[in-house]
Amino acid sequence: MILGVSGLYAAGKGEVVAFLQGRSFTAYSLSDVIRDELKSRNLEESRERMIETGRALRESEGAGALARRLATRLSPDRNFVVDSIRHPAEVEALRELTQDFKLLWVEADEGVRFERLRSRARSGDPETLEELRRLEGSELASDNPAGQQLLAVRELADYRVQNGGSLEDLQSQVQELLRNNLFFERPHWDEYFMNIAQVVATRSNCVKRKVAAVLTIDRRVIATGYNGTPRGTTNCNEGGCPRCNNFGPGGSDLGECLCSHAEENAITQSAYHGVRVRGATLYTTFCPCLMCTKMIINAGIGEVVFSAEYPLGDVSVSLLREAGVKVRQFEG
CA gap 90, 99 in Å, rounded: 14
Q: CA nearest 83: which of 94, 72, 75?
A: 94
**Cβ–Cβ < 8 Å for 250, 311:** yes
Side-chain half-sphere CA neighbours of 161 within 13 A: 26
Q: What is the pLDDT of residue 298?
A: 97
In sign, the C-alpha dihedral spanning 144, 147, 151, 155 is positive
> Containing H/E element for 28?
strand 25-29
Side-chain half-sphere CA neighbours of 276 within 13 A: 4
Which among 263, 264, 303, 322 is annotated as catalytic? 263
Judge residue 56's burial from the number of C-beta atoms within 10 Å of its C-beta, 0-12 exposed, 13-18 middle, 19 or more buried: middle
Buried b (16+ CB within 10 A) or exposed e, 61-75: eebbbbbbbbbeebe
Q: What is the pLDDT of residue 146?
A: 75
Q: What is the pLDDT of residue 232?
A: 93
Q: State the Cα torsion 26-32-37-41 to the nearest 10°.
A: -120
**Cβ–Cβ < 8 Å for 15, 120:** no
Q: What is the pLDDT of residue 54?
A: 87
263 is catalytic: yes
The set of residues, in sequence order, having a beta carbon less than 8 Å from that of 300 and lying 6+ positions away, is 277, 278, 279, 280
Q: What angle do CA 220, 226, 231 make, to 5 degrees?
A: 115
Other C-beta atoms closer than 10 Å to the C-beta of 128 total 11
What does each of the 332 residues of the chain score in pLDDT, given as a tens digit?
899 999 998 899 999 999 999 999 999 999 899 999 999 999 988 878 888 898 899 889 998 999 999 988 888 889 999 998 989 999 999 998 877 899 999 999 988 988 888 888 777 777 888 888 887 777 788 777 777 888 999 999 999 999 999 999 999 999 999 888 866 678 899 999 999 999 999 999 999 889 999 999 999 999 999 999 999 999 999 999 998 898 877 656 667 889 999 999 999 999 999 999 999 999 999 999 999 999 999 999 999 999 998 776 799 999 999 999 999 999 87
Q: What is the pLDDT of residue 254?
A: 67
